């Protein structure tokens, strides 16, 4: 991974993924609120006179972002610019869709900012490393659930111990530990019911993608990471006409399970 640096001061990262579908189908997935919400985070587009003027994304409580749409050329490309991270310069995001042979498209995202120092390069590299996981979910969505309604459950909680220990606890509890890509799996007793096929599983970084058939069609994304405190994350993308109902029913079950399995670590005083 590397940040591209230009004489003008522009610094950027670029990530690509090839996905199934026509440009119009892929555009719906990457340039509409319901589409982006089906594989990334809850998203809405603000419109004026029938044209998008802003993108609002919800990354969690207190972590909403709003970007102004600066270019719009469906189904080929669009761009938006929003506030930076914690005092960084404004961040520009450019999306493009290119048709490829065999009924696929290449999706490209470029994140960029202007800066005279290296102060924000780590954030750009962190963004670069995060896109592939979401793009794997996008590929599953377009391969198996294109155009379907979606609803999201997302849980992120701090845990004690190391990343490896958190990942071991999470995957063991869910019955995922020791599985391989392509295997069918079901959660053990004492865990809210999930079953499906392992689509992706790595142990550095610690993440997994599971294509679900129970409690309904969807994708479960699991992860453990260090962002100061050690965190575990579970994101569930449910699809189909019953997606919202599934999320409403399953959310309290998963909240209770997470609170039991991952109790909040004790706070330490500054002297400890």
pLDDT at 265 over 80: no
Report residue 240 as tokens. 């189909």
List, in sequence order, every residue forming a beta bridge with 82; answer none if it has no partner.
67, 91
CA 120 – CA 229 distance, rounded (Å): 21
Mean pLDDT of the chain: 93
**Which region holds residue 59: left if phi is over 0, alpha if psi is between -120 and 50, else beta?**
alpha
pLDDT at 271 over 60: no
Verify that 172 and 116 share a domain, yes or no: no
What distance, in Å, lies between the first and last C-alpha atoms of the chain? Answer: 36
Least confident of 31-45, 79-93, 142-156, 211-225: 79-93
Verify that 138 and 185 share a domain, yes or no: no
**Domain's final residue, options 97, 123, 144:** 144
**Over residues 75-104, mean pLDDT:** 93
Verify that 9 and 90 share a domain, yes or no: yes
- Prediction pTM value: 0.92
- pLDDT band (50, 70, 90) for residue 267: low
**Over residues 231-260, mean pLDDT:** 96
- pLDDT score, position 256: 96
pLDDT at 75 over 70: yes
Verify that 212 and 135 share a domain, yes or no: no
The answer to whether residues 97 and 79 touch, using CB atoms and an 8 Å cutoff, is: no
Verify that 69 and 191 share a domain, yes or no: no
- pLDDT band (50, 70, 90) for residue 268: low
**Domain's final residue, options 144, 172, 193:** 144
- pLDDT score, position 182: 96
Question: For residues 123 and 184, which has the higher predicted lDDT (pLDDT)?
Answer: 184
Question: Is 20 within a domain?
Answer: yes
Verify that 104 and 193 share a domain, yes or no: no
Beta strands in the chain (DSSP E): 4-5, 10-20, 43-48, 51-58, 64-73, 77-82, 91-100, 104-114, 150-159, 184-186, 195-203, 206-214, 218-226, 230-239
pLDDT at 266 over 80: no
The answer to whether residues 106 and 97 touch, using CB atoms and an 8 Å cutoff, is: yes
Question: Is 21 within a domain?
Answer: yes
Verify that 24 and 73 share a domain, yes or no: yes
Domain that holds residue 12: 4-144
Strands 230-239 and 150-159: antiparallel
pLDDT at 1 over 60: no
Give me the number of domains the chain comprises. Answer: 2
Verify that 49 and 97 share a domain, yes or no: yes
Verify that 216 and 114 share a domain, yes or no: no
pLDDT single digits (tens) 149-176: 999 999 999 998 999 999 999 999 999 9
Verify that 124 and 8 share a domain, yes or no: yes
In 3D space, the residue among 131, 51, 119 whose CA is nearest the CA of residue 88 turns out to be 119
- pLDDT band (50, 70, 90) for residue 147: very high
- pLDDT band (50, 70, 90) for residue 98: very high
**Domain's final residue, options 144, 175, 197:** 144
pLDDT at 263 over 90: no
The rounded percent of the chain whose pLDDT value lies above 90 is: 81
Question: Is 270 within a domain?
Answer: no
**Over residues 211-240, mean pLDDT:** 94
Helix (H/G/I), strand (E/B), else coil: 85: coil
Task: Tokens 């048709």: give the residue.
Answer: 99
């Amino acid at each position: 991974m590397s940040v591209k640096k230009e004489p003008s001061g522009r610094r950027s990262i670029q990530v690509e993924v090839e996905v199934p579908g026509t440009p119009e189908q892929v555009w719906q997935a990457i340039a509409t609120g319901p589409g982006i919400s089906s594989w990334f985070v809850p998203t809405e587009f603000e419109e004026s006179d029938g044209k998008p003027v802003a993108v609002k994304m919800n990354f969690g409580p207190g972590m909403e972002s709003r970007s102004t749409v600066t270019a719009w050329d469906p189904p080929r490309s669009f761009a938006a610019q929003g506030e930076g991270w914690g005092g960084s310069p404004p961040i520009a995001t450019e999306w493009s869709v290119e048709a490829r042979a065999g009924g696929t498209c290449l999706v490209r995202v470029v994140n960029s900012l202007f800066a005279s120092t290296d102060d924000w390069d780590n954030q750009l590299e962190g963004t670069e490393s995060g896109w592939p996981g979401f793009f794997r979910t996008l590929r599953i969505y377009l391969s198996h659930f294109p155009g379907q309604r979606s609803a999201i459950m997302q849980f992120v909680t701090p845990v004690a111990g190391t990343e490896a220990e958190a990942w071991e606890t999470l995957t063991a509890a869910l019955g995922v530990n020791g599985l391989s890509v392509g295997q069918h799996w079901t959660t053990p007793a004492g865990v809210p019911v999930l079953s499906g096929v392992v689509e992706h599983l790595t142990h550095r970084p610690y993440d997994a993608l599971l294509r679900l058939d129970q409690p309904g069609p969807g994708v479960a994304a699991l992860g453990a990471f260090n962002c100061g405190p050690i965190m575990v994350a579970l994101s569930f993308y449910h699809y189909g006409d019953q997606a919202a109902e599934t999320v409403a029913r399953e959310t309290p079950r998963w909240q209770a399970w997470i609170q039991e399995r991952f109790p909040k670590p004790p706070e330490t005083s500054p002297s400890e």
